[in-house]
Structure 1
Amino acid sequence: MNGQLRKNIVPGLQVNIVLKQDQRSGKLTKGIVKELLTNSPTHPHGIKVRLTDGQVGRVKEILSGPAEA
């Protein structure tokens, strides 16, 4: 799944994001979504999220469903 649709992204998903400082290189960072920061239903560069470790970036890939508690 791609990260351009807000409806596809929920807290707990494992995703690859691109951080602001990595936009030129395209380096991806893996993490678990803590909260969604983009309010619009879609975004051409990916929905902006905050990961559980506090990093903020745009979702490029959704890797797996929500982690079971």
Structure 2
Amino acid sequence: MNGQERKNLSAGTHVKIVLKHHQRTGTLTEGIVKDILTKSSTHPHGIKVRLEDGQVGRVKEILK
């Protein structure tokens, strides 16, 4: 699924995100969505979320 569309995400969704300091390398961090921080319905670089462990980044992959 597409991490650029807000409608594909909800609290509890298992995702891979890229953290701000990993944007150059593209290193992904896996976790469960706690909050969706992007207010618009889409974002070209991925919807910004906060994971349950407090990390914030943009969604690159939505996992099953």
TM range (shorter): over 0.9
Residue 34 (structure 1) aligns with = 34
TM-score, length of structure 1 as denominator length: 0.92
Give the whole-Å Cα distance in 1 for the aligned partners of 2:46 and 2:62: 11
Amino acid corresponding to residue 44 of structure 1 in structure 2: P
Unaligned runs of at least 5 residues, structure 2: none
Pairwise CA RMSD of aligned residues? 0.4
Amino acid corresponding to residue 62 of structure 1 in structure 2: I
Match of 1:21, SS? Answer: helix
Match of 1:7, SS? Answer: helix
TM-score, length of structure 2 as denominator length: 0.99
Residue 23 (structure 1) aligns with = 23
Distance apart, 1:2 and its partner CA: 1.5
Residue 57 (structure 2) aligns with = 57
Q: Give the total of aligned pairs.
A: 64
Residue by residue over 1:30-56, the C-alpha shift from the partner in whole angstroms, topping out at 9 and shown as x without a partner, is 000000000000000000000000000
Amino acid corresponding to residue 16 of structure 1 in structure 2: K
Give the whole-Å Cα distance in 1 for the aligned partners of 2:32 and 2:11: 7
Distance apart, 1:18 and its partner CA: 0.1
